[in-house]
Structure formats: structure tokens, C-alpha cells
Amino acid sequence: MATEVKVPTLGESITEATLGQWLKAPGEAVKADEPIASLETDKVAVEVNSPVDGVMGEQAVAEGDTVEVGAVIALVNEGASAASAATPAVADRNAVGQAEAAAPTEPAAAPVDGDDDPKTLSPAVRRVVLEHGLDPSKIRGTGKDGRLTKDDVLAAAKAQGQAKPVAVSAPAAGAPVAAVAAGARKEERVRMTRLRQTIASRLKESQNTTAMLTTYNDVDMTAVMDARNRYKDLFEKKHGIRLGFMSFFAKAAVLALRDVPAVNAAIEGDEIVYRDYADISVAVSAPQGLVVPVVRDADKLSFAGIEKTIADFGKRAKDGTLKIEEMKGGTFTISNGGVFGSLLSSPIINLGQSAVLGLHRIEERPVVRDGQIVARPMMYLALSYDHRLVDGREAVTFLVRIKEAIEDPTRLLIDL
């Protein structure tokens, strides 16, 4: 008996997705609730689980195809064995493989993927494995369920001292070899993922619909760094989480949003919506691209609560397990490009919001204190805002409030 595998409900207003990757091949044994496919939506990757125990049967769609909610994408044969449930396509493929094995062939690269390979590789990972001529079974995967990521393969290649990708296979003796001129340029076309298409569309829409302007300031990080160094061990011992800089900036943003409510507001039609709560979106880097989960009620959370929430988001963004509802809403965004070494940038406003705060790397620079030139750990701050709603005076005031709170963290405790 064959059971249909359908595209699950993906969330409010999401009606379709892209089949990003098959995690099981026809003929492979599967268990109930075991992931068999990965879907890419506008926001996150969603796994499709097998509804029953059995063997993977026919796959109705290919990787890269668009599928609608409720559509049948595969069949799972209940009660069949892996050996007997292979589809005709699999049988044909095995026959071809046997024919190829009977003939003399050129040296082959290490196996990359197949029915007997415990590690199912995504197209991007498979390509890198082939380029470097590596054996994926000897690489430790850090992705979900031990799956290989592109970074895992690159790290393995680096560990072997490979400066450049190696050829996948050598041409057979006597075979014609196309001449490749020295310094020849190559191109590769890769289809954009649904998430990357959505990011591109939303960023461009933000530029087209907002009167975006950016104002800058710098902040002396001495006080925050001293406080962090003084209490980080006690903080981690008590709360089980490291004390980072993001909780300081989130708390500072909460104070500034109260003082300048227009930054926390949004334009809807011909109305301005003011919020008395702070749901802070935090930009997080994920393998598929940038995602922006929301720290709900940041104004009510403690330092530890904010740090735990952000750490959880970061971990699950890498694993691809963030939920769609966790990235909806948000009244204000903080984006930390400093973790990648950015000195200064002009962030783009998240649609539905009126401003975004950009953080950057900390570096020692000469500044004047009490008439003396001294070295201080300084960071540039950037606030991009919708000038239709936020005036320049309000934007500068907001950024100054952030600066004051960071340079004197006591303000965060006494709500000043």
C-alpha cells in the first residue's frame, strides 16, 4: 500500500515553496516522522516528514520545482522492503551502473552520493565535494542530523592542504582534450534559492517604498567592555549563557524607542501606527542567507533572557529549524555587521518598520579625553530610517540615546 506525502501547511499567507533537496532516494527505508525532503519557503527551510514506516517510492517532483501546499510530492510504500521497493527508475539506474562497471573506465573520484551513502548531500555540497575530490564519508558533518555543510567540506579541503579545487577525474587515455588557454575565465550559473529571491525582492521594495536616510555616530565601548569582563563569569555561572554585547544594545534600543516613539512606529496607508512594545528583529546569518527572527517583548526581558533568545536563534538558524512565525512582525531591527569585520555600512530598513540600527566592529582609535589623546575601543553606529515618518532631529536624538546608554551602562539599570 502506498501512502501519499503531501506539502504541509507552511504558515499564514504562504501557499507555495521550492523543493530544495530530497533527503531520501527511491528504494530507501524510511520511518514515520523521518525527514524525506526539504522545502524552501520565502523565509525558512521546512522539512517534510514521512507519514508512515516503509520504503521511499516514486518522487513526483524534482529538486528546484515549485510545489503548492497540499500537493503530492512522493509516495511511501508501507510494508515493503528496501530491496523490493525500488522504482523502475532506480532499477534502470542500477542497470546502467552495472553496464558501466563492465566496461573499462577512467579513474573515478570518491563516491559522492547514492542509495548506500548514509550522508545525503545538497547540490551545493555535492559540487564542492566533487571539486576537491574528497570522500564525504570521511568528513564529519556539523549540520542537522550530522549532515555535511559546505563549510565542513571546505574545512576538510583546507586541512588536506588543498589551495585549489582538484579535477574530479582524469581523461581516458587517447581521448581528445580541449585546449584551455592560460588564464581562461569561467562562468557558472546557479539558480537562486527561494529565500535569496525573497531577500532581493524585499530589499528592493524597501528601497522603493521608503524615504531612506542614514545618520551616523560613534560610541566608546570602554564601559560596556569593562562591565562585561567584570561580570561575564558570574553571569554565565548563574544564567548558563555568555554575556555578549547584543543584550546591552537591545536594552539601549528599548530606552531610546521609549524616548523617540516615531522610530518604533510604522506607516500603514495614511495612518501612523505607534507601538507601546518593543519586538526587536535581530539579523542572523544562516547557510541559506540572512534571516531576521524577532525577540518578542524585548522591553520586558532581562539581559539573560535576551542573550538566551538570540543564542537560540543563531543555533537554529544554522540548523535550518527556525519557524516562520518567529520571523514575523518586529518593530525595530538591530544588524551586527561587526562580527564579519565591517567598519561602516548603511543598513536597509526591514519592510514594515521605520528604522534599523547597524553595529560595526570595535577597534582602538585615538580620541580626546580631558584634553589628552588616548586610545579607546570605538564602534561606529548607523541608523537608517524612513524620513517620511522620522525627522532628522528624532533620528539623531535616538542615536545619541543609544550612545549615552552604552557609554554609561548604569542608565540601563535606572531607566534613564
* CATH number of the domain residue 117 falls in: 4.10.320.10
Cα separation, 346 vs 348, whole angstroms: 7
| pLDDT for residue 15 | 76
Catalytic residues: 387, 391
Q: Do 137 and 232 belong to one domain?
A: no
Q: Do 357 and 244 belong to one domain?
A: yes
Residues, the chain, total? 416
Domain range for 384 is: 212-414
Q: Do 126 and 50 belong to one domain?
A: no
Q: Is residue 249 part of a domain?
A: yes
The count of structural domains within the chain is 3
What the block records as the C-alpha cell of 373 is 589623546
Q: Is residue 204 part of a domain?
A: no
Question: Which residue in 48, 54, 53, 58 sits closest to 10, CA to CA?
Answer: 48
In order along its 416 residues, the chain shows pLDDT tens digits of 788 888 887 766 677 788 878 888 888 888 888 888 888 776 667 788 888 888 888 888 888 788 888 888 888 888 665 544 444 444 444 444 444 444 444 433 444 444 344 445 665 676 677 667 777 777 888 776 677 777 788 888 878 765 444 444 444 444 455 555 667 888 888 877 777 787 788 888 888 999 999 999 999 999 999 999 999 999 999 999 999 999 999 999 999 999 999 999 999 989 999 999 999 999 888 776 778 899 999 999 999 999 999 999 988 888 778 887 888 889 999 999 988 889 999 999 988 899 999 999 999 999 999 999 999 999 999 999 999 999 999 999 999 999 999 999 988 887 76
Q: Is residue 193 part of a domain?
A: no
Q: Is residue 312 part of a domain?
A: yes
Among the three residues 51, 77, 103, which one is the final residue of a domain in this structure? Answer: 77
CA 14 to chain centre: 19
Q: Do 243 and 334 belong to one domain?
A: yes
Question: Residue written as cell 530589499?
Answer: 203
The CATH number assigned to the domain holding 60 equals 2.40.50.100
Cα separation, 275 vs 267, whole angstroms: 12
Among the three residues 55, 77, 99, which one is the final residue of a domain in this structure? Answer: 77
pTM above 0.85, yes or no: no
Side chain identity at 158, as an amino acid letter? K
Side chain identity at 71, as an amino acid letter? A
Instruction: Say if strands 284-286 and 289-291 run parallel, antiparallel, or are unpaired.
Output: antiparallel
Among the three residues 102, 134, 168, which one is the final residue of a domain in this structure? Answer: 168
Q: Is residue 350 part of a domain?
A: yes
| C-beta of residue 134 within 8 angstroms of C-beta of residue 125 | no
Q: Is residue 106 part of a domain?
A: no
Question: Which residue in 66, 61, 49, 69 sits closest to 3, CA to CA?
Answer: 49
Question: Residue written as cell 542573550?
Answer: 307
| pLDDT for residue 109 | 40
| pLDDT for residue 162 | 52
- Helix, strand or coil, per DSSP, at residue 291: strand
User: Exposure pattern of 122-132 as b/e (b: 16+ CB <10 Å)?
Assistant: bebbbbbbbbb
| pLDDT for residue 278 | 95
